[in-house]
Amino acid sequence: MQCFQGKSVYKGIAMGPIVVLKKDDYQVKRTRIEDPEAEVKRVDAALEKSKEQLQKLYDKAVKEVGEASAAIFEVHQMMLEDDDYLEAIQNTICTEQVNAEYAVATTGDNFAEMFASMDDDYMKARSADIKDISERLVRNLSGQEDTDLSSIDPSVIVADDLSPSETVQMDKDKILAFVTVHGSTNSHTAILARMMNIPALIGVPMDLDELKTGMTVVVDGFEGTVTFDPDEEIKAQTEKRMEEEAEKLRLLQELKGKENVTLDGHKINIYANIGSVGDIGYVLENDAGGIGLFRSEFLYLGRNDFPTEEEQFQAYKQAVQMMAGKKVIIRTLDIGADKQVDYFNLGNEDNPALGYRAIRICLTQPDIFKTQLRALLRAAVYGNLSIMYPMITSTEEVKKIYEIVAEVEAELKEQEIQYKLPEQGIMIETPAAAIISDKLAEMVDFFSIGTNDLTQYTLALDRQNAKLDDFYNPHHEAILRMIQMVVDNAHKCGKWAGICGELGADATLTEQFVRMGVDELSVAPSMILKLRKIVREMKKVED
């Protein structure tokens, strides 16, 4: 029996046989060639085949995990069209007179190393993407087929790391859990695991050569442990815990259709956070009262140019129509920081989290902002849509936003285009906004507290820096005091205040938030019923 500690990506418990996935030991050999042009043509053919494969993976991912999580395969297709990457491959072939496989592998290694050495966490994560597309190209050049992961029996997948393409090929109904040696909590594979509700551990210091496919394993996502070849006592304990978890899930399903009301009659709204229209199925499946955060930036990711007004209008319109009268709060563009898009030409920044991002882009590039606002005001006609502006730090920013909104209204009216001015709120995710929330509450319709950024800015701590995990404390008294201040200031002006950051899904704080007067919690769809259970079993006013 061997037990290892890892980092949990998705909490849950599973037991079953393992499938050990190892990368093929295919060695790319350097071969001198006489016809560089023929090698370049081979690369072109492999590129087309790779794009076709990625399109199929994208289509499969959209159906299973939604558009937001599937966008990585569009990003991979874009990477295969990157001029710098392709020119480097061609240059290696022609100047060194080497075979295509070697040129692709060398270029992939060089680009991956370059991204891995960057300070920005988003760019570091692209290193794995470069490796993934380069390995795909090499496989297609050498005639290797993709590993067939669709026909495995129900198993725990154990690997050094998993690429998004490997993850999506799997039949999610047959995946009991993921366990990997490497990977990060912000990787695409981790995101897919969370969307699939599959227990997953990363950073497990196991030796794959010592493991054999078929051996039994227990994966405990709650404790972050994995036990290979467990003894009978641990197996019995695990079976009992799995039964308990299954019963909890069954009981949670009985809460569908029930209200989020405390024992003493206080109601709180529990909404869902989503990244695209494709995720609304999860919202409806989990009986959310509405959408508290629609991340509109996903419309801008995975493409070569800005989405048009019509594209955005159709997405927003579809969202509000599908929610059939329930509130849909759409956050305006929040590009920058950890979400970079090449065609915005934002440039490199020493500290992007404190840089040119979100509302700062919108206010300095009003044409981009106006396109989105036109689409939002037009879509508001078709349902219960609200607009939310991110990264606010001053009343002056709100005034400037309203001036631009007024210009958009005037344009739509003059063009005789049907529109509606919806409820407008702001995100409180900077200490500045929290401290002047009394002034801001007089100007807006609601607050939504973004605890992820509020925590990192308040604690002066990069939340994506793994070295600082021991210092990152979202329960810090300063954070909770700020939340209380924001809620109180909103209520003094007759406005409502919610939480849409990760802290909203922290079940250990749910009762405290209700007693603080928080009006709404917006969380991942899978957390809706869990929070409803807590609310319905508590009293707002303690005896």
Q: Say which amino acid occupies 520.
A: E
Q: How many residues are there in the chain?
A: 543
**What's the angle, vertex CA 516, arms to CA 500 and CA 489, rounded to 5?**
80
Instruction: Tell me which residue has tokens 């594209």.
Output: 311
Q: Tally the C-alpha atoms within 13 A of residue 235's C-alpha that lie toward its C-beta.
A: 11
The alpha carbon torsion through 482, 485, 490, 493 (nearest 10 deg) reads -150
- The residues, any chain, with a CB within 8 Å of residue 274's CB and separated by 6 or more, are 66, 68, 280, 282, 283, 291, 293, 294, 295, 525
Residue 305 DSSP label: S
**Of 3, 76, 266, 500, catalytic:** 500
Q: Give the DSSP H/E element, type plus range, for residue 424.
A: strand 423-428
Cβ neighbours for 327, distance < 8 A, ≥ 6 positions apart:
269, 271, 289, 290, 291, 292, 384, 386
**Helix or strand or coil: residue 301?**
coil
Element (H, E) at 478: helix 477-492
Count of Cβ atoms closer than 10 Å to residue 151 Cβ: 8
Residue with token string 């695990």: 238
220 and 230 Cβ atoms separated by less than 8 Å: no
CA 148 distance to own-chain centroid: 26
Angstrom distance (rounded) from CA 377 to CA 409: 8
CA distance 531 to 533: 5
Q: Residue 493 catalytic?
A: no
Cβ neighbours of residue 108 closer than 8 Å, sequence gap 6 or more: 130, 131, 133, 134, 135, 137, 138
CA distances from 513 to 349, 388, 493 (A): 36, 21, 19
From the candidates 3, 94, 182, 188, give the one annotated as an active-site residue: 188
Q: How far, in Å, CA of 521 to CA of 500, rounded? A: 6
Cβ count near 24 (within 10 Å)? 10
Q: Is 500 a catalytic residue?
A: yes
Contact between residue 321 and residue 378 where contact means Cβ atoms under 8 Å apart = no
Spatial distance between the Cα atoms of 503 and 486, rounded to a whole number of angstroms:
15
Q: Which residues are catalytic?
A: 188, 500
